[in-house]
Amino acid sequence: MSIKQLFKSNKKQFILIFLMVIIGMASDSLSQYLMTPAYNHLRNMNLLGFILFMCLALGCDGVRIILISRSDYLYGKDVQNYLHQIRARISRYFFKNDINQTAKVQNNMVANLDQLTTKYLTPIKNGFMYFLAVVFSIGILFSFNWILVVVTVILTIISLLLPKAFEKLTSTATVIVTKKNEKFLNILDKWVKGLDELRRYASFDIFTSSINNGAKEYKKAAIHQGATIAIADMATALVNIGGQMLLLGLCAYLYLQGRIAFGAVITTGQFSSTIMNGVAAFVAQWNLVKSAKGLNEEVRELEQPVEIAQDQHDDQKVAKIEIRDLALQFKNGENISYPDLTFNKGEKILVTGDSGSGKSTLFKLILNKLTPSKGTIHFIDQDGKEIHLNPDEFVYLAQDSTLFPDTLENNITMFNTKLNSQVQQVTKKVDFDKDINKFPDGLATQVDLDKNNLSGGQKQKLVLARALVHNSPWLFIDEGTSAIDSESTKHILQNLLATDDSVIMIAHNFSNELVSMFDRVVKLDNGGALINEL
């Protein structure tokens, strides 16, 4: 995130906004300057002159209010459009890097951008306004007496140097807040998913205590962040008060020496207040911008251009998958090893084994969702040459069905309208057509992820239809029919295994009739031993 990118997002409007701010702040300074002749006329008992200059001053105030208010609206609009562009770039990063942690995505898409809006984009505009107020006021003071300007500049420099002492402290505090917020969101995500089970056993205390413990760290970090910014602001405020007192004293001395007019005495007090308060406000805004430095660097990394790989259909070139000396050691010390395996194109293979024998883990290793501790997985073409492909091209039906808040049809086609004509055909092959007919809106039925309007079996049928409609030559299915009745499972397998696709399926408790449909069975045990049943 940078002001330069914001400028590029809408150059003409950005220039217009800052022209409005410049004219608005110039009108504000002119309004204060007009008070000098107004008070001089009042001192000379010239009521008409006093009223005239007061009306001119009020007119300038009206111009300032209109221009600044309009610039705030346009700037806010520009900021939201810019944030929309940033979210688009960040979403590409998450998509490319296979990041599916809800809390991490939420934190970067919402919380972090909100932080940067309040601590970077908004302070930049506000800081520019305060800067202009100080510059214009100093210029007017110069017309009164150059000594006032010299003292003001010295005080201004001191105030501007103060943020350096707090820059690192406030930046670190901001980054810590965002990290603690992400951690807290993670805790919320994990416990909220189990609310139904907690309610079932009336485990309210553990829920509240876990949430409160997670919130404590975030609260502590937020308090620390507020304290560091408050300390920086307090130091600036002390310089501000001292500077105003010094300027007022100097102004009184110059008046007594006959070097400035009576009206200038009063307006100098106003201008000195504007300058010192403006410097204090500018420094406070600058502190906010600097506090966002670390967080901004993190967001910039997520914004880097990302090349989204297109589906090259390299999975169609794979003639066999060779697994050699494969093993995975988990952080808890558990180790799963696998015998050498070969999956040939077109084979229908059933993978079985006891819980913990590594069936699902084997799929995740093949699909590059996990990195093996040792061993290799090779994708070989029909000429015996190794293919370096993106494993994401393989169709993988996990135990937990992934659905989207859209129509049944779009969930099946994955938003590829070219496949709509094939939907009815594939839904019949997986026995999903009967379920669809029960819905009043048919394929146009919206999947409601909150109300969960599909049963477990219906979800499995949907993702099976999704796999078939995309006609992938390799299918990895993990317990893909566990929630479907035996009769429908038999019908689905008959259609699924009758294709030329390579089907590697994990299942347990299949009847002998269902097992016999496969070309062979690969059975794993906890020690990694293999039984190959032809």
The answer to whether residue 503 scores a pLDDT higher than 80 is yes
Q: For strands 320-329 and 520-524, give the pairing.
A: unpaired
Q: What average pLDDT does this structure show over 79-90? A: 76
Counted residue by residue, the chain has a size of 534
Residue 244's nearest CA partner among 163, 166, 141 is: 141
Q: How would you classify the pairing of strands 502-506 and 348-353?
A: parallel
Nearest in space to 139 (alpha carbons), one of 25, 45, 224, 62: 25
Residues 20 and 74: their CA atoms lie apart, in Å, by: 10
Which range in 101-110, 117-126, 157-166, 289-298 is most confidently predicted, on average pLDDT? 117-126
C-alpha–C-alpha distance, residues 522 and 343, integer Å:
10
Residue 369 DSSP code: S
Q: What percent of the chain has pLDDT over 70?
A: 74
**SS3 for 296?**
helix
Q: pLDDT at position 482, please?
A: 82
534 confidence band (pLDDT: 50, 70, 90): very low
Given a contact cutoff of 8 angstroms between Cβ atoms, the answer to whether 141 and 149 are in contact is yes
Q: How far apart are CA 391 and CA 372, in angstroms?
A: 15
Say what the pLDDT of residue 499 is.
82
Q: Is the pLDDT of residue 135 over 70?
A: yes
Res. 90 pLDDT band, cuts 50 70 90: confident
The DSSP annotation for 48-68 comes to HHHHHHHHHHHHHHHHHHHHH
HEC states along 162-216? HHHHHHHHHHHHHHHHHHHHHHHHHHHHHHHCCHHHHHHCCCHHHHHHHHHHHHH
- For the question of whether the overall pTM of this predicted structure is more than 0.75, the answer is no
Question: Which of 138, 139, 143 has the alpha carbon at shortest distance from 156?
Answer: 138
Structural domains in the chain, CATH included, are: 9-303 (1.20.1560.10), 314-533 (3.40.50.300)
DSSP-derived letter for residue 407 is: B
More confident site: 333 or 353: 353
Residue 201 has pLDDT above 60, yes or no: no
Q: Highest mean pLDDT: which of 237-241, 299-303, 506-510?
A: 506-510
Q: 469: pLDDT confidence band, cut at 50, 70 and 90?
A: confident
The mean predicted confidence, pLDDT, of the chain is: 77
162-188 pLDDT tens trace: 666 666 666 677 667 777 777 777 777
Rounded-to-10 torsion of CA 148, 151, 157, 160: -70
User: What pLDDT does 384 receive?
Assistant: 84
